[in-house]
Amino acid sequence: QVQLQESGPGLVKPSETLSLTCTVSGYSIISGYYWGWIRQPPGKGLEWIGSLSHSGTTYYNPSLNSRITISVDTSKNQFSLKLTSVTAADTAVYYCARADALTAGKIDYWGQGTLVTVSS
Amino acid sequence: AIQMTQSPSSLSASVGDRVTITCRASQDIRNDLGWYQQKPGKAPQLLIYAASSLQSGVPSRFSGSGSGTDFTLTISSLQPEDFATYYCLQDYNYPLTFGQGTKVEIK
C-alpha cells in the first residue's frame, strides 16, 4: 500500500523559507510516477504548486516559480518542497501527492496534509 | 495558464437525487481532465481521470463526460457519503489548474 506523509514546521516567519518533506512508503520514487505538491489555503480551493518526475525533471507553477524548489532524496525515498520569502498568503494546508507519469492530473495517492502558518 | 470554471459553486440536493456539476476550460484541453472529491479535513480523492475513466474503487454512480472545453461530473443517485466538495483539474498542460470547487450540501 502506497503511503505519503508530509513533515516539517507548522509555523514559519514571514520572509523565511518554508521547508517540507514527503516520505513515501510502499513504492520506490525512482520506479516511476510524478511526485508533487498541492496546497489549500484555509477555507479555499486547491492550488497545484509543482511536480518532480522520477527522472528528476521539475515542473513549477509560474505564479510561484521563482520561489519554489522541489527535490528528491532517493536514498530516503523522500521528496521535498522549499518555498522562499513566504508571506501570510502562503498559509495553507500542503499536500504531497503521486501522479501518473502519462496523465499528470491522475493523482492517485495523497498525504494527509500539513498546515503551515506564516506568522511572526 | 488555463482557467477552469466550475458551476454551480454550491448546490443542495437530497439522497437519491441525480447531481450534475460542470467544468469549463478557457481553451481546448481535449479530454485531459480529472474530478476529485474532498471531504472536510481530508485530502482530495480521485474519482475520474481522462474525462470519463472511473478510478479503481470508485462507485459506478460517479461518471464523467465531455471533451474540448466542457465537462460534466454526474452522480446518478446521491448517497449520504457523497456530500462533499468536488474539484475538476486540467492536465492538458502545465501549470495544472483546478476549478474553484462545487460544494454539495444536504437539502
Q: At which residue does the C-alpha cell 522549499 appear?
A: A82
Neighbours of B93 (CB within 10 A): 14
Cα distance between residue B36 and residue B9, in whole Å: 15
The set of cell numbers assigned to A25 is: 512508503
A60 inside 8 A of chain B by CB = yes
For strand A114-118 and strand A92-99, is the pairing parallel, antiparallel, or unpaired?
A: antiparallel
Identity of the residue numbered A25: S
**pLDDT tens string B56-93:** 999 999 999 999 999 999 999 999 999 999 999 999 99
Nearest CB to B34; choose among A63, A97, A106: A106
Q: Does B36 contact A107 at a Cβ distance shorter than 8 Å?
A: yes
Instruction: Give A55's pLDDT tier (boundaries 50, 70, 90).
Output: confident
Q: At which residue does the C-alpha cell 461530473 appear?
A: B73
Q: Does B91 contact A112 at a Cβ distance shorter than 8 Å?
A: no
The set of cell numbers assigned to B47 is: 474519482
Instruction: Give B107's pLDDT tier (boundaries 50, 70, 90).
Output: confident
Q: Could you tell me which residues are beta bridge partners of residue A79?
A: A22, A72
Q: Does A105 contact B32 at a Cβ distance shorter than 8 Å?
A: yes
Q: Does A48 contact B98 at a Cβ distance shorter than 8 Å?
A: yes
pLDDT at A65 over 80: no
Q: Does A106 contact B98 at a Cβ distance shorter than 8 Å?
A: no
Predicted local distance difference test score (pLDDT) of residue A56: 85
A8 inside 8 A of chain B by CB = no
Nearest CB to B101; choose among A45, A95, A108: A45
What is the edge-to-edge ordering of all strands in the sheet holding B19-25? B4-7, B19-25, B70-75, B62-67
